[in-house]
Structure 1
Amino acid sequence: MLLAMIAAGENHLCVDVAKMEVGNSAQAFTFSLNDRHKKMILEGVDMVGATMSLLPDIEAFEQWHRATSPWALVIPSSLT
């Protein structure tokens, strides 16, 4: 039905990501997004940006891993 309205010249659509609706002044239809992708669209970030928002957690894990598993560290060849 929405495509028929567009074909008839009623070609103004609104996509509301927060409400997960797409439609025009007459009708709205819901769509689904997983929570991560919805948040990324609303915040205007890509996968790299989303990952960078986790940087404090990543750095905390790195410190914990170095402290608890020193045998797993990679030693640069310049130091051997």
Structure 2
Amino acid sequence: MEATSKAMASGLLVLLLLINTGFVLPVHSEDCWADTRVICTKTHNCRDDTCAGRGMPDGRCHWEFPNLVPFCQCLRPNCH
């Protein structure tokens, strides 16, 4: 029983250290997305038409307050 609790504590400590040092899977932060003023109807149109034409690798429809319609956002080249 004591060995099990020590093993769990050690595993938890290692996990916390890995998370604290940033060793997690990279997730695109909001800083990686560049706003455009192009109204987005479908993500593939945003990705192919708007973002590819600007030399950016990816795009998405982004809809949040205060925008009443979704706008296209392009992923910056150094973030992929």
TM (norm. structure 2) is: 0.22
Select the structure with the greater relative contact order (CA < 8 A; seq sep ≥ 6). Answer: 2
More helix by share: 1
Per the normalisation by structure 1, the TM-score is: 0.22
Q: Give the number of the structure whose residues are more often strand, by fraction.
A: 2
Larger CA Rg, structure 1 vs 2 = 1
